[in-house]
Amino acid sequence: MSRYLAPRSRKVRVLATLGPASRSPDMIKTLFRAGADAFRVNMSHGSHEDHAKVIAAIREMEAEFNRPTTILVDLQGPKLRVGRFAESMVTLKPGATFVLDRDTAPGDATRVNLPHRELFMAMEEGARLLLDDGKLVLRVTTAEPDRIVTTVEVGGALSNNKGLNVPDVVVPMAALTDKDRKDLDFALEQDVDWIALSFVQRAEDVAEARRLIAGRAALLAKIEKPAAVERLDDILGIADAVMVARGDLGVELPPQSVPPLQKRIVETARRLGKPVVVATQMLESMIKSPSPTRAEVSDVATAVYDGADAIMLSAESAAGDWPEQSVSMMNAIADAVERDPGYHARVHFTETWPDPTTADALSEAAASIAQTVSAAAIVCFTISGSTARRVARERPAVPLMVLTPSRETARRLGLLWGVHAVRTRDVGSFEEMVAKAKRMALRHGIAKAGDAIIVMAGVPFGVAGSTNVLHVVKLVGDELTGFED
């Protein structure tokens, strides 16, 4: 095997969830070869022991393929559920009265326990309660400290511990449960790269998670509550990235509201230079079928055209019958979209105005100069990853190679659009910077002899956040030797 693996031909990243169908070391390698750039570990299922084995397998594969590989751990969050029934299941009829209370006795067709004290404190008359992913709808008629009396608007079968969504009320509960805190400690001990925070409602939820993480991983906020949409700018101001989690978002909002919200979230994140992931039901039919529906293909393509940084597979790769084919299909769709002659214009429908900083001005200039001089690639040196994020925000038409001495930075950049990250020794002089940029571009196959590349870095070298150099150089054939990486 070659020491260096060629970069992906596409720029949008593919995030694959691992689970019973895909957590073996051999299958993880198979998914990587099929196109997975990053892997999601879902803490809603499985034990810490199981997850530790999966994370170790990813790190072993990372060493074998000599490419920084991104691991995202997704915390379960405060999922609301009703209690249990004496007969395991009841049928709620439209127009009937149904009570949720704090009595722990098994329920029946008239009442059930609701083991979430915070809901009783926050509930309001007229609010909707959605049960079992929105299949049943209740309307609150009376809200008391120990009882919530409702009228059944949409009835049906309801069984033990089904999920509950409350779209009309901001519930005063922490985004991190006791389980989440234990899972977070485990994830940080495992040196994972990203933590995904579920059921975010306020910026304060993100701030609390950031305090606990203390810089040991990057933080992604999942937008799946109407309250989070209303506070999107504040949440993005604190989070490192955002996910359009369309599952619960589509339960708590009318389905027709989700597509424009997806575009709004993607656009807002792009303007702020924060990575944005589009997730949930992207190739849902491939859980059981070896091929997707045409509507699913169009859905994935839309996210790519909109300029999302990453697109995610959930049950398709975690528990489906066709995990490899799901990743291959997502890879093929993204590749086809990015080969469309109209793709570059479409991905720039969102205008990303630079902040009044030298780094932003140079990043914008790099993308423009690359087109003007027909450069083969942009190569940037970074310690923290901030330069890479600024350049990626411009969605340049050429590959973006990021050279960093930080293993953590190289891994975290795996969710960033267009980035091929390489961990390498830092440079100490302008001449060394130019020589290394040329050498690494040739070795990794993003440019060839005779091509021009654009080099970005900060002087003095080794100081984070000091990007102030943009240099255009031409490659010749004898620059592969003579220096250590």
pLDDT band of 290, cuts 50, 70, 90: very high
Q: What is the CA radius of gyration of the chain?
A: 24
Query: How many helices and strands in the chain, by DSSP H and E?
Result: 17, 21
Task: Give the dihedral sign, CA 47/318/232/80.
Answer: negative
What topology does CATH give the domain 358-474? Pyruvate Kinase; Chain: A, domain 1 (3.40.1380)
Helix runs in 18-144, H state only: 25-34, 48-65, 117-122
**pLDDT score, position 2:** 46
8, 10, 11, 40: the active-site residue: 40
Q: Is 139 assigned a catalytic role?
A: no
> For this structure, is 40 an active site residue?
yes
The residue from 11, 222, 393, 395 that is catalytic is 222
pLDDT averaged over the chain? 92
Proportion of the chain above pLDDT 90, given as a percent? 79
Q: Is 191 helix (H, G, I), strand (E, B) or coil?
A: coil
User: Of 69-83, 157-171, 235-249, 274-288, where does mean pLDDT reach its minimum?
Assistant: 157-171
Q: φ and ψ at 41, to 5 degrees? A: -110, 115
| 377, 419 Cβ separation under 8 angstroms | no
Instruction: Output the six-digit token pair for 28.
Output: 């993880």
Inter-residue contact 240 to 218 (CB < 8 Å)? yes
Residue pointed to by tokens 């992604």: 220
223-244: pLDDT as tens digits: 998 889 999 999 999 999 999 9
Calculate the alpha carbon distances from 144 to 8, 99, 102, 117, 119 in Å. 57, 11, 11, 11, 10
Q: Which of 17, 268, 280, 387 is catalytic?
A: 280
State how far the Cα of 366 lies from the Cα of 423, in Å rounded to an integer.
22
pLDDT over threshold 50, residue 112: yes
Instruction: Convert the pLDDT of each residue in 339-382 to its tens digit.
Output: 999 999 999 888 777 778 888 899 999 999 999 999 999 999 99
Collect all residues with Cβ–Cβ distance below 8 Å to 354 and sequence separation of at least 6: 360, 361, 363, 364, 390
CATH assignment of 89-165, among 2.60.40.790, 1.10.760.10, 2.40.33.10, 2.60.40.10:
2.40.33.10
For the question of residue 222 being annotated catalytic, the response is yes
pLDDT at 372: 93
Q: Look up the pTM and report it.
A: 0.90
Cα-Cα end-to-end distance for the chain:
19
| C-alpha span between 173 and 41 (Å, rounded) | 24
Q: Select which of 29, 53, 79, 81 is catalytic.
A: 81
Res 402 pLDDT > 50: yes
pLDDT at site 1? 38
Count of CA atoms in the C-beta half-sphere (13 A) of 25: 10
Q: What is the pLDDT of residues 151-183, one digit of tens each?
A: 999 999 999 989 899 888 888 777 799 999 999
Confidence category of residue 246, pLDDT binned at 50, 70, 90: very high
Q: Is 391 helix (H, G, I), strand (E, B) or coil?
A: helix
Identify whether 53 is a catalytic site residue: no
Contact yes or no for 276/266 (Cβ under 8 A): yes
pLDDT of residue 399: 94
Give CA angle at 33 (30, 35), nearest 5°: 110
Which sign, positive or negative, has the C-alpha torsion 225, 231, 232, 237? Answer: negative
**Beta partners for residue 452, in sequence order:** 474
Alpha-carbon gap, residue 245 to 243, rounded angstroms: 6
In terms of Cα–Cα distance, which of 68, 69, 104 is closest to 86?
104
Q: 275 preceded by cis ω (within 30°)?
A: no
What is the spatial distance between Cα 194 and Cα 37, in angstroms, rounded to a whole number?
14
Span(s) in the chain for CATH 3.20.20.60: 13-77+175-343
Topology of domain 13-77+175-343, CATH: TIM Barrel (3.20.20)
Give Cα separations from 115 to 112, 159, 224, 319 (angstroms).
10, 15, 22, 29
